[in-house]
Amino acid sequence: MPKVVVVTDSTAYLPKNILQELNIQVVPLHVIWGDKIYKDGVDLKAEEFYPMLKAAKELPTTSQPSPQEFIDVYKPILDKGDKIISIHISSGISGTLNSAHQAKEMLETKDVEIIDSKSSGMALGYVAMETARYAQKGNSYEDCIRIARKAVENIDVYFVVDTLEYLHKGGRIGGASAVLGSALDLKPILYFNKEGKLDSFEKVRTKKKAMKRLLEIAQEKVGEKKPIHFAIMQVEAMEDAEFLRAELEKMFKPDEIAEMMIVTLSPVIGSHTGPGLVSISFLAGM
């Protein structure tokens, strides 16, 4: 019986042990800095990237993987007779999904299902993880696709950035451009809307109020959906992340939380948000 293999991209920034345990394959996006092109998470790690970003006079740009880079990951899996579920960063902010579709057409295969997470970071990561877990239990290809699509419907991510400067310069701010008001010290809470584009959820005056509001939003959005898989994403904001984790553990009972992790945002996404980001991502009811 063919196996089902999950492929995702580097913006999920899943810890290495999880990738190995669940046999999730990763196609890296690119960070372009001057005349150098780095593979996200491969030859440019978060721990070296963010200090460089803070000191940089010129901001890096980012780009999607090429169709050939997808083929290089897909073909060895297909050659073994296995099937692929390829789950990626929102098409609302990246052309990554388009490259995946081109690769599938070039390979002339029906054994690759491509799914738009309409999100990124650990919201995307949890869709990939849940699908891979389901596949490891020996479920059919069709059932694994169904679970992946269900997970997309049950993820959410809300985040606060220290400044909108990086998102604005990177052209990724979308509808959130309406909240450009750093002179007023606004701390907008951002999220992915139904089209998978970055948008403003609401505006608050200070980082402290924004953190409190993140927790309230998580509680409101989770509602009665249990269990909950939480991820707190941060960029050089570990103290804030630890605070959010402690507060979430007070808000929800231990048996309501399936897992909780603190992760760093990938350099590709972090180049658009800048240092100081803190975020709550969750998959609820699965």
Please answer whether residues 29 and 268 qualify as being in contact, where contact means their C-beta atoms are separated by less than 8 angstroms: yes
pTM as predicted: 0.92
Residue 131: is its pLDDT beyond 80?
Answer: yes
Residue 61: is its pLDDT beyond 70?
Answer: yes
Q: Are 8 and 144 contained in the same domain?
A: yes
145-165 per-position pLDDT tens digit: 999 999 999 999 999 987 766
Q: CB neighbours of 21 closer than 8 A, spacing ≥ 6?
A: none
68-99 per-position pLDDT tens digit: 999 999 999 999 999 999 999 999 999 999 99
In a domain, 51, yes or no: no
In a domain, 183, yes or no: yes
The pLDDT of residue 170 is 53
Q: Which tokens in the block code for residue 125?
A: 């990561």
Q: Are 15 and 133 contained in the same domain?
A: yes
Backbone angles phi, psi at 26, to 5 degrees: -120, 130
Q: Are 172 and 117 contained in the same domain?
A: no
Q: What separation in angstroms does the CA of 12 have from each of 3, 108, 137, 268? A: 22, 27, 22, 10
Q: Are 112 and 169 contained in the same domain?
A: no
In the chain, what percentage of residues exceed pLDDT 90? 71
The domain boundary, picked from 133, 153, 173, lies at 153
Q: Are 71 and 178 contained in the same domain?
A: no
Backbone angles phi, psi at 280, to 5 degrees: -115, 120
The pLDDT of residue 162 is 79
Q: Are 88 and 184 contained in the same domain?
A: no
List of long-range contacts for 19-23, beta carbons under 8 Å, 24+ apart: 22/128, 22/129, 22/132, 22/133, 22/136, 23/132, 23/136
In a domain, 54, yes or no: no
Q: How far apart are CA 235 and CA 175, in angstroms?
A: 23
Q: Are 144 and 173 contained in the same domain?
A: no
The pLDDT of residue 200 is 84
Q: Are 8 and 116 contained in the same domain?
A: yes
* CATH code for the domain in which residue 81 is found: 3.40.50.10170
CB atoms within 10 A of CB 247: 17
189-208 per-position pLDDT tens digit: 889 999 998 888 888 888 89
In a domain, 21, yes or no: yes
The pLDDT of residue 54 is 81
Span of 197-201, 250-254, 259-263 with lowest mean pLDDT? 197-201
**Burial bucket for residue 60 (CB in 10 Å: 0-12, 13-18, 19+):** buried
Site of tokens 């707190």: 232
In a domain, 48, yes or no: no
In a domain, 201, yes or no: yes
Could you give the number of structural domains in the chain? 2
In a domain, 179, yes or no: yes
Q: Dihedral, CA atoms, 47, 260, 221, 217, nearest 10 degrees?
A: -50
Q: Are 83 and 197 contained in the same domain?
A: no
Please answer whether residues 222 and 282 qualify as being in contact, where contact means their C-beta atoms are separated by less than 8 angstroms: yes
Q: Are 113 and 164 contained in the same domain?
A: no
Q: How far apart are CA 54 and CA 78, in angstroms?
A: 42
Q: CB neighbours of 16 closer than 8 A, spacing ≥ 6?
A: none
Q: Are 149 and 164 contained in the same domain?
A: no
The domain boundary, picked from 118, 153, 188, lies at 153
* CATH code for the domain in which residue 259 is found: 3.30.1180.10
Q: Are 169 and 253 contained in the same domain?
A: yes
The domain boundary, picked from 108, 129, 153, lies at 153
Instruction: Sort strands 25-27 and 4-9 into parallel, antiparallel or unpaired.
Output: parallel
Range of the domain at 182: 155-284
In a domain, 70, yes or no: yes
